Amino acid sequence: MKNIKKILAVFFSAIILVGIVAGCGSKATTDTKKEQAAKSSIEEIKQRGKIKIGVFSDKPPFGFVDANGKNQGFDVFIAKRFAKDLLGDESKVEFVLVEAASRVEFLQANKVDLILANFTVTDERKQKVDFANPYMKVALGVVSPSGAPITSVDQLKGKKLIVNKGTTAETFFTKNYPDIELLKYDQNTEAFEALKDKRGVALAHDNTLLFAWARENTGYTVGVASLGSLDTIAPAVKKGDKELLAWVNTELETLGKENFIHKAYDATLKPAYGESIDPETVVVEGGIVK
Amino acid sequence: MQNLGINVLFEGTTLQRLFEGLMMTAGIAFISIIIGSFLGIGMGLLRTSKSRIVQFICRLYLEVFRIIPILVWLFIVYFGVTNALDIHLDGEVVAVIVFSLWGAAEMGDIVRGALESLPKHQVESGKAIGLSFWGLYRYVLIPQAVRRMLPGAINLSTRMVKTTSLVVMIGVIDVVKVGQQIIERSIIKVPTASFWVYGLIFILYFIICYPLSKLSKKLEAKWEN
């Protein structure tokens, strides 16, 4: 009688113990794997026949899923070209749908080869992933209702500002304006809904996204068009993956010669931003910011 | 122009994708609930053990799952454990593992509570008429405990169904994520899209969770006598 309880106890303890040992005891294998990955990341992709690229699935016009379930957008347009030039066919790309807050982890854990998800280059992120040269530049903007426009950051003191978790906007305001109360959301959908419900007086995000949103949502205006330092957006690879990083940089250079990023802009961003935005404020050609 | 909003649902393969998302949500939830329940019953029996070590380990297991948010567990297993062990696990598999382990911890506590709430004389009478350990549990304790744990178990199950929406963070596309993709794609042109999409998602969650409450009512009525 008692034995059965004992057996069960041993069984469950064993499960827990295995879990603990597994969690701590496998540093060695990780290191050897890292070396291998660094040695032949492109070989590995070619053997697999598919490059895994992390893109957004709900951030139009950069990365979104259309009515037929297909990935579309600026980042996706470029990702397909990368696949075509690396593997010979633009269909040889596997899109992994990532979230803003877990992009770094997807790279670190080898879930993707490359992130092309509107990834802004920051010093903090540079410590965790390796960024290639940029293909886009962006600053922060603040959008607010046209009836009560916010045209300078000073107007925000003591009021509620809506931001997305894990974005540059959150970091910028937390660091530079700690006296502005932030309302944080995981999803863009939620953040824009919150602005419409007037849960905050304004919403801060990358200005490019706000241009597109304000163009279609009458009654809202991008009162602060450019805030903070000009940031760049670049493809990112896993820390230490020098081979793929070098390939991406050469690729961007080659694409620059045929003005490919401008083509991508015309195909995906122009319909969203309208004619009023100068593409030169957004596009970076050949990986070099002018 | 209200019609425009609902049309979003019928464009292209939208409905099919929402349905696939729903299957993902329901699949992860129900597999986890079943695995969690079985492990949980084992946990519950262990929790009534006299051994202090067993009690301590079970208690530790429960608290670890209760204190650390499920989102963190998903990250630990999906990004941490797979990397450390040098294996690849799909997001769906990780979700089932994490939700099953969480279910086991919480279910274990519910089972323990139900067993301990039974009057002591039930055990003593059972022993007095010469029932074995398994007999005691099989014929006396478990039938009574199941009825007492039912409300808690159903509550846990619906909670698990709803918590599955966290799996988007590890790249699994569930029904809520599909909804967000549809809203984001159309929000600029159709601002009312969110109303219709979330409305439909509400109904879909209701369809998953309501049968559970119905089932629990039925079982309670059946075991009344």
To the nearest whole Å, the CA of B209 is away from the closest chain A CA by 24
Please list the alpha-helical segments (H only) found in chain A: 2-24, 27-39, 41-48, 74-87, 103-108, 123-126, 168-176, 188-196, 207-216, 242-257, 260-264, 270-273
To the nearest whole Å, the CA of A221 is away from the closest chain B CA by 14
In CATH terms, the fold of domain A138-231 is D-Maltodextrin-Binding Protein; domain 2 (3.40.190)
- Nearest to A192, CA basis, from B202, B188, B166: B188
A110 in contact with B, Cβ within 8 Å: yes
- Both tokens of A187, joined, read 């999803």
Please report, for chain A, the start and end positions of each structural domain, with discontinuous segments joined by +. Answer: 39-135+234-281, 138-231
In CATH terms, the fold of domain A39-135+234-281 is D-Maltodextrin-Binding Protein; domain 2 (3.40.190)
Mutual angle of helices A242-257 and A41-48, in 10-degree steps: 80
Question: Is B185 in Cβ contact with A66 (below 8 Å)?
Answer: yes
Q: Per residue in A65-110, pLDDT tens?
A: 888 889 999 999 999 999 999 998 988 999 999 988 889 989 988 8
CA distances from B9 to A69, A114, B58, B177 (A): 13, 32, 47, 14
Higher pLDDT, A245 or A229: A245
How far apart CA A234 and CA B221 sit, in angstroms, is 62
Question: Is B184 in Cβ contact with A59 (below 8 Å)?
Answer: yes
Q: Is the pLDDT of residue A137 over 80?
A: yes
To the nearest whole Å, the CA of B220 is away from the closest chain A CA by 29
Question: Is A9 in Cβ contact with B49 (below 8 Å)?
Answer: yes
- Averaged pLDDT, A216-239: 86
pLDDT in tens, chain B (225 residues): 445 677 778 877 888 889 999 999 999 999 999 999 999 998 998 888 888 999 999 999 999 998 999 999 999 999 888 888 888 888 899 999 999 999 999 999 999 999 989 998 988 898 899 888 888 888 888 888 888 888 899 999 999 999 999 998 888 888 999 998 888 888 767 777 888 889 999 999 998 889 888 888 888 888 775
Question: Is B58 in Cβ contact with A30 (below 8 Å)?
Answer: no
Looking at residue A30, its pLDDT comes to 44
Q: Count other Cβ atoms within 10 Å, centred on residue B138.
A: 12
Determine the residue of chain B that is closest to A212 in CA distance.
B188
CA distances from B211 to B214, B216, B218 (A): 5, 9, 10
| Amino acid found at B207 | I
Chain A, window 84-103: residues with a beta carbon less than 8 angstroms from a chain B beta carbon = 96-99, 101-102
Backbone angles phi, psi at A54, to 5 degrees: -85, 120
* Contact of A161 with A256, CB cutoff 8 Å: no
Q: One fold for both A39-135+234-281 and A138-231? A: yes
Backbone angles phi, psi at B101, to 5 degrees: -65, -40
- Nearest to A233, CA basis, from A252, A215, A258: A252
Element spanning B65, H or E? helix B52-67
B78: which chain A residues are within 8 Å (Cβ-Cβ)?
109
To the nearest whole Å, the CA of B39 is away from the closest chain A CA by 9
Q: Strand order in A114-115's β-sheet?
A: A93-97, A51-55, A114-115, A236-238, A129-131
Looking at residue A6, its pLDDT comes to 56
Domains of chain B: 27-172+214-222 (1.10.3720.10)
Q: Is the pLDDT of residue A35 over 60?
A: no
